[in-house]
Amino acid sequence: MLKGANLTVGTLLRTFWRPISLTWFLVLIETTLTALIPLLIGFAIDGLLAGNSTALLNLAMVLTALIGVSVLRRLYDTRIFGTIRVELCKALAERSNGGSISTLNARLGMGRELADFLEQQVPAVMTAVVQFTTALIVLYTFHPTLAYAALATAVAMLALYSVFHGRFFRLNAQFNQQTEKQVRILETRSHDGLVAHLRRLRAIEVRLSDTEACVYGAIFTILLGFVIFNLWFASAHVKITVGTIFSIISYSWEFVEAALVMPVTLQVWSRLSEIMKRINGGEVTMVSAEQHRKETRQPH
C-alpha cells in the first residue's frame, strides 16, 4: 500500500483515510458528549434544588450514550491502527535492503510512532479543540472577560512553546541517532561500548526531561493564574448560583486540560518531524552492510 511513497503522517492519512475518518468521527461524537457533561451537571444541580429531575435524566442519557460510543471506538481503533503499523513496518523493511540491522530495528520502532500519533495524539487534539471551543462559548455566555482570559492564556502558552521547539527537535535528533546504533553495539558484545551507549542515551534523556520540566512548569504557572483569575472574576462580577459556579469552575478546568494538549502535541510533532526526515532519507543516511561488518570486527 505504501510502496514508493514518502512515509509521513500525510501519506498514512491519504492511504487509510476511510477507516481513519470513521474512527475520528467517533472521537468527535465522544468528545462532544463529554464536553456537555459539566454543563448538564450544573443544570441537574439547579434542577434538583428546585425539585425538578428532568435535567438529571438528560444527564443520565448522555452518559449512557457516551459509554457506548467510547467502547465501540476503542474496539475499532485497535484493529485499524494495528493494520497501519504492519503496512508501515513492511514498507520500512523493504527499503532497508543493504542497511544495517541496527538502523532498521530502530527505524521500525520510530515508524510505529507515526501510527501512534494518528491513533493517540490526533484524537487528543480533536478532543482538546472541542473542549477548548465549548469552554470558550460557555465561559463567554457567563461573561466575555472569562473567555478573553482563556484566549490570552492559550496565546501565551503557544508563544512559550515556540521558544523551545528548536531545542526539542535537536535533542530528539540526537536521541534517534544514538538509538539507531544500539543493535550494532550489542552485536560487538563490548561491555564498555554498551555502557558508553547507555550513558549517552541517558544524557540526552536528561536534557529532554529538563527542558520539558522548564516548559511545563512555566505553562502550569500560566494556567494556574488563569483559573485563579476566573474564580475571582466570577465571584465579583457574575450572578452566582450553585450550578453556575460549578459550571464556571468545570469549564475553566476543562480549558486547562485542553490547553495542556497543545504543548504535548507540539512536542510530539517535533519528534515526528525528525523521524520522518530520518526514515525518508533526509540528512541521516543508512549504514551500509559492508561498513557494519567492518565496525563489528573492530577490537574493543
What is the grid cell recorded at 69?
460510543
Handedness of CA 212, 214, 218, 220 (dihedral sign): positive
pLDDT in tens, 115-167: 888 888 888 888 888 888 888 888 888 888 888 988 898 888 888 888 887 88
What is the per-residue DSSP string for 57-79?
HHHHHHHHHHHHHHHHHHHHHHH
CA distance 139 to 174: 43
For residues 284 and 179, the answer to whether their CB atoms sit within 8 Å is: no
The CATH number of domain 9-297, selected from 1.20.1560.10, 3.90.700.10, 3.40.640.10, 3.30.450.40:
1.20.1560.10
Query: Which grid coordinates are listed for 70?
Result: 467510547
Distances in whole angstroms, Cα of residue 50 to Cα of each of 55, 60, 94, 160, 249: 11, 18, 68, 46, 21
Average pLDDT across the chain, whole number: 80
pLDDT for the residue 98 = 62
Residue 295 reports pLDDT greater than 60: no
Average pLDDT over residues 245-265: 78
Task: Report the pLDDT value the prediction gives residue 286, as an integer from 0 to 100.
Answer: 38
The C-alpha cell at 143 is: 461573561
Residue 7: CB atoms within 10 A of its CB come to: 19
pTM for the structure as a whole:
0.63
Q: What percent of the chain shows pLDDT beyond 70?
A: 90
For residue 134, what is its C-alpha cell? 465549548
Answer yes or no: are the C-beta atoms of 247 and 138 closer than 8 Å: yes
Q: Which residues pair with 255 in a beta bridge?
A: none
- 297: pLDDT confidence band, cut at 50, 70 and 90? very low
